[in-house]
């Protein structure tokens, strides 16, 4: 089993960790940062629609987002023009910090060994 260290604890990194763990790899996550937002603090709204909802459901199962706020439509405005009419787009709005905490809980502690990882997965801003 390959030891993979995930450098980050956002939704993408946690999902990457889940995919790797499901394929038999040992996964190491960084400990939660003390400066990171915590559950119960000011909510960080996250809109989940279409393929993202399907991905969360298929990888993580139920119970992660059911208490989010369901939406049926949304508005999208580009620039300073008037707000367009709402268009249908079912989805859920969820506190992103709470969602990440639930994902981390489902992943468990991960690998706690001191051995160096064989791979490190890092997400960057793309700059």
Residues of the chain with pLDDT under 70: 33-41, 123-127
pLDDT digits (tens, 9 = 90+) for 43-65: 789 999 999 999 999 999 989 99
From the CA atom positions of the chain, what is the Rg in Å? 17
* SS3 label, residue 44: coil
In the prediction, which pLDDT does 75 show?
81
Which pTM does this prediction carry? Answer: 0.80
Helix/strand/coil (H/E/C) assignment for every residue in 63-125: CCCCCCEEEEEECCCCCCCCCCCCEEEEEEEEEHHHHHHHHHHHHCCCCCCCCCCCEEEECCC
**Could you give the CA distance from residue 120 to residue 65 in angstroms, rounded to a whole number?**
29
Specify whether the CB–CB gap between 100 and 10 falls below 8 A: yes
Homologous superfamily (CATH) of 3-33+42-75+83-122 is FAD/NAD(P)-binding domain (3.50.50.60)
């Amino acid at each position: 089993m390959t030891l993979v260290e995930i450098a980050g604890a956002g939704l993408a990194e946690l999902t990457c960790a889940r995919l790797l763990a499901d394929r038999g790899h040992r996964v190491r996550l960084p400990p939660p940062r003390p400066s990171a937002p915590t559950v119960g603090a000011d909510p960080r709204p996250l809109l989940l629609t279409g393929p993202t909802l399907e991905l969360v459901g298929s990888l993580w199962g139920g119970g992660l987002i059911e208490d989010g706020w369901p939406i049926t439509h949304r508005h999208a405005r580009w620039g300073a023009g008037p707000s367009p009419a709402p268009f249908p787009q079912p989805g859920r709005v969820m506190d992103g910090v709470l969602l990440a905490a639930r994902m981390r809980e489902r992943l468990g502690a991960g690998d706690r060994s001191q051995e160096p990882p064989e791979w490190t997965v890092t997400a960057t801003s793309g700059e």
